[in-house]
Amino acid sequence: MKLQMVDLQGQYYRVKVEIDAAIQNTIQSAAYINGPAVAEFATELATYTGSRHVIPCANGTDALQLAMMALGLKEGDEVIVPSFTYVATAEVIALLGLTPVFVDVDPTTFMISPEHVAAKITPKTRAIVPVHLFGQCADMEPIMQIAREHQVHVIEDTAQAIGATYTFSDGTTKHAGTMGTIGTTSFFPSKNLGCYGDGGAIFVQDEALALRIKMIANHGQRVKYHHDIVGVNSRLDTLQAAILRVKLKQLDAYNTQRNKSAAFYDNALQKYASISIPERSPSSTHVFHQYTLVCHDFDREELRDYLAQKGIPSMVYYPIPLHLQKAYSNYVYTKGDFPVSEMLSERVISLPIHTEQEEEELLYISDAVVEFITSKGL
């Protein structure tokens, strides 16, 4: 039994015939850039998520950058982001000369805390970027309320939560990425909907904004060789779109499979007080991009070493919160500013979770975690 954090090879073999045909067709068509599969995939993803517009682009980081560029944010404008997330979110803010304003996260869901967001709003705030971390939606209802009150934009980073849905108190349910002004996602191979290289997309509901994003992603032109604004080159390859069309049909099944793995881990691990299993938000479904435990009374690295000796990989997402990263040290933050993010970065551990896990594997992994905990008398 070879254990991996994700099994992309196994996942490929299940849809090999269809994927191989899609790749072969694209190669034979020679329409490598902006071939028909790109628009077809965008339409299918729009239908799946209920988004009015879906604009494919080169990767999830570009999607964030295009979103910020399209909103016309200017140097010095403040953008609120969680301090406990992947770096891409803050990176594009800094690159565009905007000011990332970090806020702490909720200790149980690991996501941006609405109360902390409200406290960080200033006259310079232009946008809030909730990250739907590890597979469930951030608490969008209060975040949208704060955004409306202060007339700021919301850019949802849904790179880890495609397929998750959020239910508002009035009963309406929306897909991750379709609630804010703009939503962004990534098709990095290991994401819940992954292609075989880089890819990304933007969700947007407003027609004029959609046109502007398309224009920016295409060298600032609407008509070929007529460049109205300074843009970038950010496209999804036809090959990747063709692959994604096949995999989108599997997305719900993939997310169900991940939930089965999560339920197995929950059941095996929930009775141990020295670890916390992932808490479910009452308003969101979970698509388990990661299954992340918090270790309370012991050194996480000891558990990682123990698992590694048994051939079980584990990962730490994320070992250093953004406000303590060297690259962001010019933004006036110090250790102690965001205690929850700092605590999580020292205590979280993510177990293998993917679409190809058998019960035997889940049992082996959870048994090993239990053995470690009980051997320590915890």
Ligand X SMILES: *Cc1c(COP(=O)(O)O)cnc(C)c1O
The CA–CA distances, whole Å, from 82 to 28, 101, 206, 295 equal: 45, 8, 26, 21
Residues forming contacts to ligand X in the complex (CB under 6 A) are 59-61, 85-86, 88-89, 131, 157, 159-160, 186, 188, 198, 200
The CA–CA distances, whole Å, from 40 to 27, 44, 47, 50, 94 equal: 17, 6, 11, 15, 34
Nearer to ligand X, 63 or 101 (CB): 63
The CA–CA distances, whole Å, from 297 to 273, 334, 349 equal: 9, 25, 14
- What SS3 class is residue 334? coil
Smallest gap from Cβ 224 to ligand X, in A, equals 27
Nearer to ligand X, 85 or 350 (CB): 85
Smallest gap from Cβ 305 to ligand X, in A, equals 26
**Nearest-angstrom CA–CA distance, 65 and 67:** 5
Smallest gap from Cβ 134 to ligand X, in A, equals 9
Q: Cβ(203)–Cβ(177) under 8 Å?
A: yes
Nearer to ligand X, 303 or 340 (CB): 340
Nearest CA-CA partner of 294 in 258, 345, 367: 345
The CA–CA distances, whole Å, from 214 to 32, 139, 221 equal: 18, 29, 9
Nearer to ligand X, 86 or 265 (CB): 86
Nearer to ligand X, 100 or 200 (CB): 200
DSSP code per residue over 267-282: HHHTT-TTEEPPPPPT
Nearer to ligand X, 89 or 181 (CB): 89
Smallest gap from Cβ 159 to ligand X, in A, equals 3
Smallest gap from Cβ 287 to ligand X, in A, equals 13
Nearest CA-CA partner of 201 in 43, 74, 33: 43
Smallest gap from Cβ 50 to ligand X, in A, equals 21
Taking CB positions, which residue lies at the least distance from ligand X? 60
**Nearest-angstrom CA–CA distance, 8 and 195:** 10
Smallest gap from Cβ 105 to ligand X, in A, equals 13
Burial class (CB in 10 A: 0-12, 13-18, 19+), 90: buried
Nearer to ligand X, 84 or 265 (CB): 84
Is the dihedral angle over the CA atoms 135, 138, 139, 145 positive or is it negative? Answer: negative
Nearer to ligand X, 86 or 102 (CB): 86
Smallest gap from Cβ 81 to ligand X, in A, equals 10
- What SS3 class is residue 19? helix
